[in-house]
Structure 1
Amino acid sequence: MLPEEQELTRLETEQGELEERVASAELSLETIKTETARFQRRYYQTVGRLYAELDELDAKFADAQAARIPGDAAARADAQAAHEQARKSAEEAGLIEVCPGPPPAITPELKQAYRQAAKLIHPDRATTDRERQRRTTLMAQVNRAYERGDKEAIEKLILEYGHDPEAIAGADIASRIVRAIRRIAQLRRRLTEAQEELEVHQATELFQLRKTVEEAEAMGGDPLNELAQQLMQELSERGIQLEMETCQ
Structure 2
Amino acid sequence: MTNTAISRHGLERRRSQLSDLRRYCADQEQEFEALRARVQGFVSRYVDALGESYLELDALESQLHSATHGLAEALRSSGIDARSPLAPQATALPVLPRLPPGTALPAEPQSGLVELAPPTLKTLYRRAAMRLHPDFAATEIDRSAREQSMMLVNQAYSASNRAQLEVLLLAAGEDPVRVSGSNADALRNWLDRCERLVQGRLRVVQAHMALLTVHPMHRLWLAIAQAEVKGLDPLSVMANRLRSQIGERRQELYIGQRLLPQSNLAQAFLHRRIERMGAAASTN
Calculate the TM-score normalised by the size of structure 1. 0.58
- Residues 17, 75 of structure 1: CA spacing in aligned structure 2 closer, same or farther, 3 A cutoff? farther
1:54-69 paired onto structure 2 within 5 Å: 54-69=57-72
Confirm or deny that 1:13 pairs with 2:16. yes
The amino acid across from 2:215 in the alignment is: T
Distance 1:30 1:187 in 2: 18
| Percent pairwise identity | 22
Aligned residues: 174
Q: CA deviation at 1:13?
A: 2.1
1:92 counterpart residue number: 93
Structure with greater contact order relative to length (CA < 8 Å, sep ≥ 6): 2
Counterpart contact for 2:25–2:201, Cα < 8 Å: yes
Structure 2 residue runs without a partner (length 5+): 1-5, 95-99, 115-183, 260-284
1:26-105 paired onto structure 2 within 5 Å: 26-72=29-75, 77-78=84-85, 81-82=87-88, 85=89, 88-89=90-91, 92=93
Say which structure is richer in helix: 1
2:268 counterpart residue number: none
Structure 1 residue runs without a partner (length 5+): 94-152
Distance 1:22 1:221 in 2: 38
Q: Root-mean-square deviation (CA), in Å? A: 3.2
Per-residue deviation, residues 208-245 of structure 1 (Å, max 9, x unmatched): 22222222223322211210012112222322332233
- Residues 58, 171 of structure 1: CA spacing in aligned structure 2 closer, same or farther, 3 A cutoff? same
Per-residue deviation, residues 103-137 of structure 1 (Å, max 9, x unmatched): xxxxxxxxxxxxxxxxxxxxxxxxxxxxxxxxxxx
Larger Rg: 2
The amino acid across from 1:41 in the alignment is: S
Per-residue deviation, residues 81-100 of structure 1 (Å, max 9, x unmatched): 13xx2xx32x638xxxxxxx
Task: Identify the match of residue 188 of structure 1 among 195, 199, 211.
Answer: 199
Calculate the TM-score normalised by the size of structure 2. 0.51
The amino acid across from 1:78 in the alignment is: P
1:216 counterpart residue number: 227
- Residues 176, 70 of structure 1: CA spacing in aligned structure 2 closer, same or farther, 3 A cutoff? closer
Counterpart contact for 1:50–1:231, Cα < 8 Å: yes
SS at match of 1:78: coil
Q: CA deviation at 1:199?
A: 0.9
Distance 1:35 1:18 in 2: 26
The amino acid across from 1:171 in the alignment is: G
Q: CA deviation at 1:20?
A: 1.6
